[in-house]
Amino acid sequence: MADLKINLSEKDIPQKWYNVASDLPFKLPPPINPGTGKPLEKKDLRQIFPLSLIEQEMSEERWIEIPDEVTDILRIWRPTTLKRAVHLEKALKTKCRIYYKDESASPTGSHKTNTAIAQVYYNKKEGIKRLTTETGAGQWGSALSFACNIFGLKCRVYMVKVSYEQKPFRKSLMRMWQAEVVASPSTLTESGKKILKEDPNCQGSLGIAISEAVEDAAKDKATNYCLGSVLNHVLLHQTVIGLEAKKQLALAGETPDFLVGCVGGGSNFGGLIHPFVKDKLKKDSLRIIAVEPFACPSLTRGKYEYDFGDTASLTPLIKMFTLGHNFIPAGIHAGGLRYHGCSPLISALHDKKIIEARAYNQLDVFEAAVLFAKTEGIVPAPETAHAIKAVIEIAKSEKQGKCIVFNFSGHGFLDLASYDKFFNGELKNYSHPLKEIRAALKNLPKI
Ligand SMILES: *Cc1c(COP(=O)(O)O)cnc(C)c1O
């Protein structure tokens, strides 16, 4: 019988990150400085990012060395296991082979720790003492708090108010790792104050929290800002996932027919799929599928245009699939997928039809998550459950039996309150009205 757990040893942790930009058959549209209307220059970002990360952001080199100090921490949980979900396969009566890369094994419970460690390391190396960031569901906030605590930096997390109130245990984790957690919008920044003046009951959004964190970092020389997704350097740090998975699939004697991941800003998906993009370009039968919620459907219903990354229009303009930077998604529980935009790399791959995108409803997604927990035992994060829903649909429709690989981006042990709501019948489906999407898209910046 074949092994269900495909493990690598610590010496198999990748020594380099893979930069997919080096292998794309097209040029990526550059980020634009909204002040000048010209392509962004390195110096435009110096106020909030360390030079090493800016260089990675703009790099076209294929391989980028992972510093030993970073690997030293990654070793706590890497390499992660690639697991075969045979019990799920049985329940589905499918001939397909379903594998998942278990990123929930990281100390904070998701893939986000992979980039948090790298980002804090480079900031510390360039003399930064304090970092700010935003968090939606709290996964990124926990990951950055953990990393700051390890490297001895201070950390302030602007947490989207609706999650701040719904997810008290994520706050506890951040406090465990000595971070300061602030509900966003807050009165600590001009962007926050402005929003609260217009709407005192505003529940917040990732776009608003980003504005607050960026403003905070720009005010102080020793403070920088970190982003947990979307940007090229974040996806770069996540490629350890796909690089390991590739080795593991080879050990199992498999070549994937489907690669699947959920997409918020695109980092766990990019981390899994980027090392396979070259294979896709050679062999079109490989299908790469991004999964998002109907409540925040940037890839399936957004537009591929230049837009701001935040609500207050403080960030550079990036070309991405967007629902408009003023878009405030409904309070569905997959907090990590509630971003108005998407990574420029993933957006370009989607625009060029190298990847596909699908959207699902919240109730179908929770049902898929419960089936996974019943058969495989691990409780998925609601974000991860989107990938699982798509995998189940693929496994049911591929009667010949295919090899499906998905990224298990995180566990849902701190999301049990959402599962309770699901069991009590208190969760509803919500697909964002097209009319509202069109309205939010009217405010795209002109360049
Ligand atoms: C943040 C998060 C996501 C979504 O972010 P991406 O950058 O798209 O990966 C997905 N799953 C989990 C568990 C998360 O914490």
Q: Is residue 274 part of a domain?
A: yes
Q: Is residue 85 part of a domain?
A: yes
Domain boundaries, position 91: 5-10+78-109+238-441
Average pLDDT over residues 21-36: 95
pLDDT at 333: 65
Coil, strand or helix at 430: coil
* 192-238 pLDDT per residue, tens: 999 999 999 999 988 899 999 999 999 999 999 999 999 999 999 99
**Do residues 137 and 270 both lie within one domain?**
no
State how many domains the chain has.
Answer: 2
* 242-267 pLDDT per residue, tens: 999 999 999 999 999 999 999 999 99
Q: Is residue 73 part of a domain?
A: no
Compute the distance between CA of residue 293 and CA of residue 263 in angstroms, rounded to an integer: 9
Which of ligand 1's atoms lies nearest the C-alpha of 139? 15
pLDDT at 339: 84
pLDDT at 166: 83
**For 74-88, 158-172, 427-441, which range has the lowest pLDDT when averaged over its residues?**
427-441
Structure tokens at 5: 């757990």
Contact of 240 with 271, CB cutoff 8 Å:
yes
Contact of 419 with 403, CB cutoff 8 Å:
no
Residue 136 CA to ligand 1 centre (angstroms): 10
CATH (domain of 415): 3.40.50.1100
**Which protein residues are within 6 Å of ligand 1, measured from CB?**
110, 112, 139-140, 229, 262-269, 336-337, 381, 383-384, 409-410
Burial track 293-323 (b if 16+ CB lie within 10 A, e otherwise) = bbbbbbbbbbebbbbbbbbbbbbbbbbbbbb
Q: Is residue 72 part of a domain?
A: no
Residue 351 CA to ligand 1 centre (angstroms): 21
Pocket residue to mutate for ligand 1, from 112, 135, 241, most atoms within 8 A of Cβ: 112
Q: Residue 368 above 70 pLDDT? A: yes
**Residue whose CA is closest, atom 13 of ligand 1?**
410
Distances, alpha carbon 89 to alpha carbons 13, 86, 232, in Å: 29, 5, 35
What confidence category does residue 434 fall into, taking pLDDT thresholds of 50, 70 and 90? Answer: confident
**Do residues 213 and 247 both lie within one domain?**
no
Q: Is residue 178 part of a domain?
A: yes
Q: Give the strands of the sheet with 5-6, arranged side by side.
A: 5-6, 82-84, 97-102, 403-408, 258-262, 287-293, 356-360
Pocket residue to mutate for ligand 1, from 383, 408, 415, most atoms within 8 A of Cβ: 383
Residue 330 CA to ligand 1 centre (angstroms): 17
Among 192, 208, 232, the domain-final residue is 232
Q: Is residue 212 part of a domain?
A: yes
pLDDT at 224: 98
pLDDT at 420: 95
**Do residues 85 and 197 both lie within one domain?**
no
Which of ligand 1's atoms lies nearest the C-alpha of 271? 9
Which of ligand 1's atoms lies nearest the C-alpha of 270? 9
Residue 35 CA to ligand 1 centre (angstroms): 31
What percent of the chain is predicted at pLDDT more than 70? 98
Q: What is the 3 state secondary structure string of 318-354?
A: EEEEECCCCCCCCCCCCHHHCCCCCCHHHHHHHHCCC
**Do residues 185 and 287 both lie within one domain?**
no
Structure tokens at 371: 């089936």
Please provide residue 13's backbone torsions phi and psi, each rounded to the nearest 5 degrees: -60, 130
* 121-145 pLDDT per residue, tens: 999 999 999 999 999 889 999 999 9
Residue 87 CA to ligand 1 centre (angstroms): 25
Which of ligand 1's atoms lies nearest the C-alpha of 136? 1
Give alpha helix (H) positions in 10-167. 51-58, 68-74, 86-92, 113-125, 139-151, 161-166
**Do residues 390 and 426 both lie within one domain?**
yes
Q: Is residue 71 part of a domain?
A: no
Compute the distance between CA of residue 368 and CA of residue 389 in angstroms, rounded to an integer: 5
**Do residues 276 and 337 both lie within one domain?**
yes
**Do residues 200 and 297 both lie within one domain?**
no
> Scanning the structure block, which residue is given the tokens 């905070």?
216
pLDDT at 332: 61
What confidence category does residue 338 fall into, taking pLDDT thresholds of 50, 70 and 90? Answer: confident
Q: Residue 439 above 90 pLDDT? A: no
**Do residues 256 and 334 both lie within one domain?**
yes
**Do residues 153 and 301 both lie within one domain?**
no
Q: Taking all residues of the chain, what is their mean pLDDT, rounded to a whole number?
A: 95
Q: Is residue 156 part of a domain?
A: yes
**Cis ω before 185 (30° cut-off from 0):** yes
**Do residues 86 and 171 both lie within one domain?**
no
pLDDT at 336: 64
The DSSP secondary structure of 223-240, one letter per residue, reads: EEE--SSSSHHHHHHHHH
Among 214, 232, 250, the domain-final residue is 232
Among 232, 264, 288, the domain-final residue is 232
**Alpha-carbon Rg for the chain in angstroms:** 20
**Do residues 38 and 146 both lie within one domain?**
yes
Contact of 363 with 419, CB cutoff 8 Å:
no
**Do residues 271 and 386 both lie within one domain?**
yes
**Residue whose CA is closest, atom 15 of ligand 1?**
139
